[in-house]
Structure 1
Amino acid sequence: MFNRTRALISLAALALGSGLAMPALAQDTLPDAIRMAYRTNPTLLGQRANQRALDESIVQARSGLRPSIDVSASANYTQVETPAGTTETESGGASIGLSQTLYSGGRISLGITATEANILAGREDLRSVEQQVLATVIQVYADVLRDEEIVRIRQENLTVLQRQLDEASARFEVGEITRTDVAQAEARLAQSEADLANSQAQLSVSRASYAAIVGQTPGRLAPLPPLPGVPDDFDVALDIGLAENPNVRAAEYALAAAEANVALARAEYLPSVRVSASYGGSTNELSSFDLADRTTFQAGATLSVPLFTGGLNQSRVSQALERANAAQIQIEGQRRTVLQSISSSYAQLISARSSLRAGEEAVRAATVAAEGVRQEAQVGLRTTLDVLNGELELRSAQVALVTARRNEYVAMAQLLLAMGRLDVTVLVPAEDVYDPSVNYERVRNRGGLPWDGVIEAIDRIAAPQIVPANDAEDAPIDTQLKGDTIQTAPRN
């Protein structure tokens, strides 16, 4: 697949560089490109695999609710030499043991809570990567359309200038103009050829970027469709972004996990109860290895109460509190980032729309001016340089207009990205959406036993409560948003 894609890219670059026309291809649309990237983009597929790996952590966290069973076997041979002679002894044994935690002071159940929060944060990270990939697809699609249109403009300009040079040469032959006019036409034609070569090279670069992101080389691209859900009010965009941006939501889930870890650290002060049982046998004759000769069954319960840990538990609590505090501050950092992104995208959108309106008027005026100059030159009222300048201004206005259209569309996509609304369900409603919760539900109860729920309910009895970081008496930092300023101050 990679070799085929590379060959197609090389063919496209060769065709553009040699001025050959590409064969007619089926028309591709932006939803088609998004659908292809959504299914095949390596960055997105890798993030999904990472999320599935993260789902396995819930299995590991819940394994503490279940018993552990182990089997052991041993065989020993001993030879002792003394002045009285040589003594040989043999022994062997085998046993099976079972151990079940009945109560851990909340260590197990709080670990499950923290793991679930981390998994939810991972889902938001996945959503962020999805939207970034979709934004890149939109950008490369718009880039290819822009560069194709610029190449068309450059080719048209080259044709016009070639005709202008032919006319100037003919007029020079009959003595109507000087050699200077012909040289001016030749210079503009040479510059136009260089501009066309640069535009073709840029189109090749854009097509290569498209192939890398989407997974296939672009064919004949359809015009850009309207982007749904783009707000016309900055405050609306900001409110949506602060509530729905995946980076903000991931930071909130990370804070929930950090707060659960604080309670988990405090649970280390509480006692734990564990029951165990073992059954086994041993023999002094390895040749027969009849374990039934001497069997042992043992069962018991263990209550463990931490009395002194040399400051370990206290340090763990303080560490967890600081991490929770850092997670809380990170939320404000993400909100600032969202504010910056939405402000920047909204400003770029307003600027692009203004440039688009100005560009449309510039093309209209430059078209009229260029045509007027050509007609006036035919009756001797304008020079060859005037005609060349009029053509140059027209092509520059056309290129600026094409660029403004691309910039407006990309700015809208970036605004939706900053808001957290650049979702595949909106862009391609009929697409089969990847749901990370399906894998989570599939693996969550792997290895589960009927009494898992009972053990978890017992473990939550008298377990430390999860306290929001702002409400913790020993939280060292208080962070809050007042007006437009984030204030951070030590607690009293």
Structure 2
Amino acid sequence: MAVGVAVSLALSAPAAWAETLTDTLIDAYRHSHLLDQNRALLRAADEDVAQAVASLRPVLNFAASATRSFPLAPTAIDVINAAVELQASITLYDGGDNQLAIDQTKETVLATREALVAVEQSVLLSAVQAYTDVQSAKQLVSLRQSNTRLITEQLRAARDRFEVGEITRTEVAAAEARLAAANSSYAAAEGQLEYAREAYKLAVGHAPGTLADAPPTPDIPNTLDEAKKIATRTHPAIRQAQREVTVTELGVLRAQAAMKPSVNANASVAMDKYGDRSGAFGLSLNQPIYAGGALSSAVRQARAQRDANRANLLQTVHEVEQSAGNAWATLAVAIAQLEATDRQISAAQIAFNGIREEASLGARTTLDVLDAEQDLLDARVDRVDAVAAQYVAIYSLLSAMGLLTVDHLKLGIQTYDPSAYYNAVKNAPAGLSQQGRKLDAVLERLGKR
């Protein structure tokens, strides 16, 4: 069903410029430290790929040494020895462990990217909640303020009627008590508005200014089953869990590869203080025979971790479907409550007008008027809550489907490209290479250097 919440969440007239929900979402995306943190974690995962790639390459080391001996015999002389050496080593065969490590780290990167999407959804949903809470809190302050003024007028009228003997002191006291309660509720509403402002500042990065009326909400599926199908295809938590299963499956293969032989090549060139040069080259074969049961244990452990991640995937699917169902139910309840409160407000308004008129004729007491006014106020407050709940429930459903992203909402801004840094480091560039210079350019764009 295509649901558009056309009911305004703000009571004030539109200003010359007001911050829209789109502005709020953009600011939240751009200024979120949580997103910055998880982007950095993603870049750290990218570096794991570079380090795994480096394990397939030769390792060069330069060594220099100098020693001086001090003989104890009086006729002996000091001896100084010096040498420099260039050493190289490379793994020729390791049972596929290094290549499996590269594949494993790549899958980890993809899983971390999905985790970043989940954080993006959380940031945007928090911004929607904060925006809606500020709008609702403003409405409640306005309602409470209006209620206080109305009861003040009723109290003044009650005192005038008491002076001429039309009503008793009890009715005046009832009006005074109701005014005190209204003032208390008004103060609480103002406090709640301040809480909402602080939550907005945390979610968006700055305090709220003048907020525009909430725009119509995005379209959502017509049925819950359709929403769940979309969720199981697109939700980042499910995609992350799928990648994590692959990571642990590769972990089983790596644990098995550790039992296979490995072949390493070593070469060195040395020169002593006399200029004499020497070279060496060698191959080494290593085959585990017995490791106290550690290698077999590692294989069993890797299989257990794989089974755990497979179970986690199934559990994640159920949780995502439940989240979609909860959001759908919340939306249905909010829609029903909104319809009910509209009818309640209409009936309460008629009742209030009639009781107030009857009270002016002496057929009703001041307490009857106050009770009717309170019923009308409660209905209006319930409507504010229902509108806010309906609005947030729609965006919560989008989040449960994995669609609450900058791209899906079409916010029209440049988004963080998770592949830019990965492409710059995936081949393990050295600092002075062309790839290294490309990496420097990426870092400059990220504002990290």
When normalised by structure 1's length, the TM-score is 0.81
Question: How far did residue 443 of structure 1 move?
Answer: 1.3
CA distance in 1, matches of 2:100, 2:220: 41
- Return the letter of the residue paired with 1:446: A
Deviating more after overlay: 87-96 vs 398-407? 87-96
Counterpart pick for 1:63 among 34, 45, 54? 54
- Give a deviation string over 1:148-190, Cα, whole Å, max 9, x none: 0010001111111111112222222222222222222211111
* Secondary structure in 2 matching 1:262: helix
Identity %: 38
- Give a deviation string over 1:359-407, Cα, whole Å, max 9, x none: 1111111111111212222222222111111111101100011011111
Deviating more after overlay: 25-34 vs 84-93? 84-93
- Give a deviation string over 1:243-294, Cα, whole Å, max 9, x none: 22211111110110111111111112333333332111113xxxxxx4x1x2
* Secondary structure in 2 matching 1:420: coil
Residue 197 of structure 2 is matched in structure 1 by: 207
CA distance in 2, matches of 1:430, 1:217: 23
Q: Structure 1 regions of 5+ residues with no counterpart? A: 1-20, 284-289, 449-492
- Return the letter of the residue paired with 2:340: A
Pairwise mapping of residues 67-146 of structure 1 onto structure 2 (< 5 A)?
Answer: 67-82=58-73, 85-146=75-136
Question: How far did residue 30 of structure 1 move?
Answer: 0.9
Question: How far did residue 428 of structure 1 move?
Answer: 4.1
Residue 375 of structure 2 is matched in structure 1 by: 393
Question: How far did residue 87 of structure 1 move?
Answer: 4.8
Counterpart pick for 2:331 among 329, 342, 349? 349
CA distance in 2, matches of 1:160, 1:60: 72
- Return the letter of the residue paired with 1:124: E
Pairwise mapping of residues 23-422 of structure 1 onto structure 2 (< 5 A)?
Answer: 26-82=17-73, 85-283=75-273, 290=274, 292=275, 294-422=276-404
* Secondary structure in 2 matching 1:269: coil
2:245/2:306 contact within 8 Å kept: yes
Question: How far did residue 25 of structure 1 move?
Answer: 8.4
Residue 459 of structure 1 is matched in structure 2 by: none
2:26/2:411 contact within 8 Å kept: no
Residue 417 of structure 2 is matched in structure 1 by: 435
Question: How far did residue 299 of structure 1 move?
Answer: 2.4
1:101/1:275 contact within 8 Å kept: yes
Aligned Cα root-mean-square deviation (Å): 1.8
- Give a deviation string over 1:10-64, Cα, whole Å, max 9, x none: xxxxxxxxxxx9xx78411111111001011111211111111111111101001
CA distance in 1, matches of 2:408, 2:347: 38
CA distance in 1, matches of 2:243, 2:411: 28
* Secondary structure in 1 matching 2:71: strand
- Return the letter of the residue paired with 2:374: L
CA distance in 2, matches of 1:310, 1:169: 94
1:48/1:126 contact within 8 Å kept: yes
Deviating more after overlay: 52-61 vs 234-243? 234-243
* Secondary structure in 2 matching 1:220: coil
- Return the letter of the residue paired with 2:84: A
CA distance in 1, matches of 2:17, 2:182: 31
CA distance in 1, matches of 2:211, 2:346: 26
CA distance in 1, matches of 2:119, 2:393: 18
* Secondary structure in 2 matching 1:221: coil
- Return the letter of the residue paired with 1:126: L
CA distance in 1, matches of 2:413, 2:225: 31
Q: Structure 2 regions of 5+ residues with no counterpart? A: 1-11, 431-449
Question: How far did residue 231 of structure 1 move?
Answer: 2.3
Question: How far did residue 233 of structure 1 move?
Answer: 1.3
CA distance in 2, matches of 1:308, 1:391: 86
Pairwise mapping of residues 439-454 of structure 1 onto structure 2 (< 5 A)?
Answer: 439-447=421-429
1:35/1:428 contact within 8 Å kept: no
CA distance in 1, matches of 2:149, 2:222: 42
Question: How far did residue 301 of structure 1 move?
Answer: 3.1
